[in-house]
Structure 1
Amino acid sequence: MGKAGKLALCVLPLLFAAQSWAFELDDVAVKAKALAAEKYSAPQSNLPASLRDLPFAGYQKVRFREDKAYWRDGKTPFQLYFFHQGMHFDLPVKINEVTAEGTREIKYDPAMFDFGDLDLKAEDLKDLGFAGFKVIHELNEAGRQDEVMSVLGASYFRIVGKGQVFGLSARGLAIDTALPSGEEFPRFTEFWIEKPQSDRGTLLFYALLDSPRATGAYRMEIDPGRDSVLDVQAKVYLREPVEKLGIAPLTSMYLFGANQPSPRHNYRPELHDSDGLAIHAGNDEWLWRPLNNPQRLNVSSYRIDNPRGFGLMQRNRDFGQYQDLDDRYELRPSGWVETVGDWGTGHVELVEIPTPDETNDNIVALWRPDNQPAVGEALDVHYRLHFSRNDAKLHDPQLAMVTQTRLSEGDVKQANLIRQPDGSTALVVDFAGPVLAELAADAAIEPQVSVDGNAEIVEKNLRYNPVSKGWRLTLRILVKDPAQPVEMRAALVQDGKPLSETWSYQLPAHE
């Protein structure tokens, strides 16, 4: 046999060894499709009362021991920490490691955790499991391990980029959100996490989702950085039709802000994880909807053909607007859904739920497709989630952005220069961006404004803002029925050409 032939024989076994095992989305999809064909079997909790009845402060005492971190040997750029079951996180999730040789379950061991001063017995911890996991990575500086991603509860997860702190959450799927029949919360029941090579900067994992009326297979790959990005591919199967199928749902918190000041004295001018919903429509229109904390449940729906993106954003990055040294709301990321492929027709929906404090996530944004998959057929979805503190990077540079919306009592300046309230409501909207900064202060810019039938415009004033090098729009409206909301829209144009995104605002109803 020639030298070339011997070399070929040597190489072939290596190739077969390298390709001996591969785990893919279809492996999970087979499970999800089979599961959808079966009757739903509700999981049973094995959590003892000593852990189930823990208050939140007690659950916080259960800490994963960092010396037990998975992949701690340093041969991968990531480590895994695990969440213990407890409180309402009472159902275990199965977590598997994927390697070139195959998959194996990562087994729960109570020795992985420090239980502090909690009064727990050995039998309380027998045959329990993990409630979720954390992805740990050198995100902010070399040699320091930071939490990049947290996966805990139903299909919820949170992600941060460099210099960010945890804020809004994302979910795998939402069903019947804000409907009178009640919301169904699908949950991730099993994960397969691929052990990365030492030179790989991303972490790939898969998840199986289950709920009474839907199942799903998910492929997720996180790329940590200044803006951390999660690439999501999913196949969703229905056991039976649902009224509202929510794709790429985001969940956040809005208590009060510039457009809705706190009703009580508070040293913090604003308190929220997100301050607005942004939408990039298929026709290239950009919409900005400031958030509210309404007095009653409110759902806003935006008809969109083939959306290019939407997200719950935290645009205000000035510490002075929050003044919170503990929670650092100005460092919380915006969450932007970049759609991949043709998503067809449907609606971006915004759900706003009344909340008395910041402990409740009361804001939801999701995509509601017009067409649901037939029972047993796959709905294929692909999108990228961006977690960023730079909203301008995610926006069209040729269109100005709304930088703030402020609410005020309307008034009129009298002859003696004293301002006298006239029963109107004033809204001050600032537009700014490179496209406006390039224009002269006397440029011929016009505002296009509309309000619904529940209000009358009594003043519409646009003026140059030398501080932001943008333009400030002041609207004064007379509300006809305060018990009903008022819908309004505004945008800046020059020679009929849009210069800004569209400000779409709902003045909430007042009881």
Structure 2
Amino acid sequence: MLGAAAAHAFSLEDVTARAKALIERPYQAPVSNLPPEFSKMQFGDYQRIQPRREKFEWQDLKTPFKIGFYHQGMHFSTPVVINEIVDGRVREIKYDPEKFDFGGLSFDAQATRNLGYAGFRVLYPINREGVQDEIMSLLGASYFRVVGKGQVYGLSARGLAIDTAWKDGMAEEFPRFREFWIERPKPQDRHLVIYALMDSPRATGAFRFVLRPGEDTVLDVESRVFLRGTIHKLGVAPLTSMFLYGPNQGVRGNNFRPALHDSNGLAIHTGSGEWLWRPLNNPPMLSVSTFQVTNPRGFGLLQRGHEFHRYEDLADRYDLRPSAWVEPKGDWGSGKVELVEIPTPDETNDNIVAFWTPDVLPPQGQPMRHDYRIHWTLNEPALLSREVGWVKQTIRTDGEVRQANLIRHLDGSTALLVDFEGPVLAKLPPGVPVRADVSVSDNAELIENVLQPNPAIQGWRLTLRVKVKDPSRAVELRAALAEGNRVLTETWSYQLPPRAPSGS
């Protein structure tokens, strides 16, 4: 019997059983165990606390993966339990202050005696042989970030989103990972398996992550979620990012950076096969956009355009921040992709959220299963079908007309320049009658629609000029290029946000 017990392999079913057990008893909110010197810590001081490289977990093993821990502090006020799985056996990795360099911070050593880990990071020699680079970070609520070769951290993913931007004044609920199990990899393994137990007032969940580092790092996710309370809007595979400004919104003030964002658009591959591209905005007021998508084939927040001149930022390297593309496995059923855009005055706030939300939620006690793969990539064209062209950029500017004396005159309209590119466009024979199928919502008048070749990119430029009727309401525009009955490109789906009321 002892031998049979030892042979049991830890699996997602074990975590799922724990998640189901949690919903059968009242939710217990985590309680802070931080002493004042840690709870009142400023961000700069928290950053001084770093894991000692010589104390990384598995440092003396031949596996290429290493684990470093995050210390508690600031709003990371409650510890998470972190376990290691070796040959099916589970052992807790106990907190040890010797694993950290506290950067000269002064505090009573006894103050850390009963503290713990706030999360962990995964290291792997992804850029140079023998040099450990951080490739995944799990810290705070159910957030995690991942990078591939040559990438730097940008947008984040989450385990689950609950009631994001549901109603004014109603707070969003942030489930948290309360316990992790990490399989110790063998020396030859080039993947890492992580399990997580999620808990919140209205949901619990079990997750299995398989991390595969590479040029594009890939994360396979299996999730089993149980509901323990009424949820108005559930976000599956949520992504969180930042968009301050870009060519479609204009540089703010006298800033040397032409664009400042972790992502510049939402891409969707619908169950019917249509490709959509929604450029992001930093709106003057909260904006929520929904796209009905049954059985999505993919969606993601992308950072299109990695040329350095687009950003000109040597410190933060926005040109190296990856896109995250969610590829569902199996049919997810009827639902919608939702985009939430929140106004922000600076780049320190994540103000963009995207997720898929099901139309029907399961009853309490029945697991909701969603399996998917997240690609973290700098090669966005590879995500698309070879038969589909894409939007290279969207430029928004004041509309103008050319007068008889050739001087351009602003006429109060808004102009949008949309560049489409891709092999399918570059290979078109000269003279092929390409057209733009354009639609504009009833809050604007389309006064110019010009499509012309753009030889600089071997693609096409669409120029639209619209006059907004009611500035307090949004304007929706859509456009795609076609030849005869053949659609050549993804659908550009753009929103001109409403203007903020005067005096606000």
* TM-score in terms of structure 2 length: 0.97
Matched-pair contact (CA < 8 Å) for 1:241–1:375: no
* 1:372-403 Cα deviation digits (max 9, x unpaired): 11111100110001000000111111010001
Deviation, structure 1 residue 263: 2.9
Classify the secondary structure of the residue corresponding to 2:424.
helix
Measured against aligned partners, the alpha-carbon deviations of 1:8-39 in whole angstroms (never above 9, x if no partner) come to xxxxxxxx799823110000000000101111
Which of the residues 44, 49, 58 maps onto 2:45?
58
Rounded Cα–Cα distance in structure 2 between residues aligned with 1:88 and 1:137: 28
Query: 1:424-474, CA deviations, whole angstroms, 9 ceiling, x for partnerless residues?
Result: 100000000000000134320010000101100000000000011000000
Name the Cα RMSD after superposition.
1.1
Is residue 2:341 matched to residue 1:341?
no
1:124 to 95, 101, 111: 111
**Quick one: which of 167, 170, 178 aligns to 1:189?**
178
Any residues of structure 2 matched to 1:416-427 within 5 Å, and which? 416-427=405-416
1-side partners of 2:413 and 2:252: how far apart? Answer: 19
Aligned to 1:330: 319
Is residue 283 of structure 2 the alignment partner of residue 294 of structure 1?
A: yes
Aligned to 1:104: 91
Give matches, 1:119-158, under 5 Å: 119-158=106-145
Contact kept? 1:441, 1:464, Cα under 8 Å: no
5+ long unaligned stretches in structure 2: none
Following superposition, the deviation at residue 49 of structure 1 comes to: 1.1
Distance 2:431 2:398 in 1: 28
Q: What corresponds to 1:480 in structure 2?
A: 469
Matches within 5 A, 1:179-218: 179-180=166-167, 181-218=170-207
Question: Once the 2 structures are TM-superposed, how far is the Cα of residue 262 of structure 1 from its aligned partner?
Answer: 2.4
Aligned residue for 1:251? 240
**Larger of the two Rg values belongs to structure:** 1
Counterpart in the other structure of 1:67: 54
In 2: Cα distance, 1:172 partner to 1:446 partner: 42
How far apart are residue 483 of structure 1 and its match?
1.5
Aligned match of 2:491: 502
Which range moved further: 158-167 or 101-110? 101-110
Whole-angstrom distance in 2 between the partners of 1:201 and 1:18: 28
**Secondary structure of residue in 2 paired with 1:430:** strand
Give the match for residue 210 of structure 2: 221
CA contact (8 A) 1:310 1:336 kept: yes
Q: What do residues 33-69 of structure 1 show as CA deviations (whole Å, max 9, x unaligned)?
A: 0101111011111011101111110100111111100
Query: 1:81: which partner in 2?
Result: 68
Aligned equivalents of 2:205, 2:487: Cα separation in 1 = 41
Moved over 4 A (4+): 16-19
Counterpart secondary structure, 2:309 = helix
| Equivalent residue in structure 2 for 1:413, among 387, 402, 408 | 402
Separation (CA, whole Å) in 1 of partners of 2:5 and 2:191: 20
Alpha carbons of structure 1 residues 152 and 426: separation in structure 2 relative to 1, 3 Å: same
Aligned partner of 1:9 in structure 2 is none
TM-score (norm 1): 0.96
Which residue of structure 2 aligns with residue 23 of structure 1? 10
Secondary structure, in 3 states, of the residue corresponding to 1:71?
A: coil
8 Å Cα contact 1:313-1:334 kept in structure 2: yes
Report the Cα distance in structure 1 between the residues aligned to 2:305 and 2:35, rounded to whole angstroms. 44
Q: Structure 2 CA distance, aligned partners of 1:374 and 1:101?
A: 33
- Equivalent residue, structure 2, for 1:360: 349
The question of whether the paired residues in 2 share the 8 Å contact of 1:295 and 1:354 is answered with yes
Aligned length: 496
Q: State the distance in 2 between where 1:291 and 1:157 align.
A: 22
Tell me, in whole angstroms, the C-alpha distance in 1 between the residues paired with 2:172 and 2:386.
38
Displacement of 1:91: 1.2
For 2:164 and 2:264, how far apart are their aligned partners in 1?
20
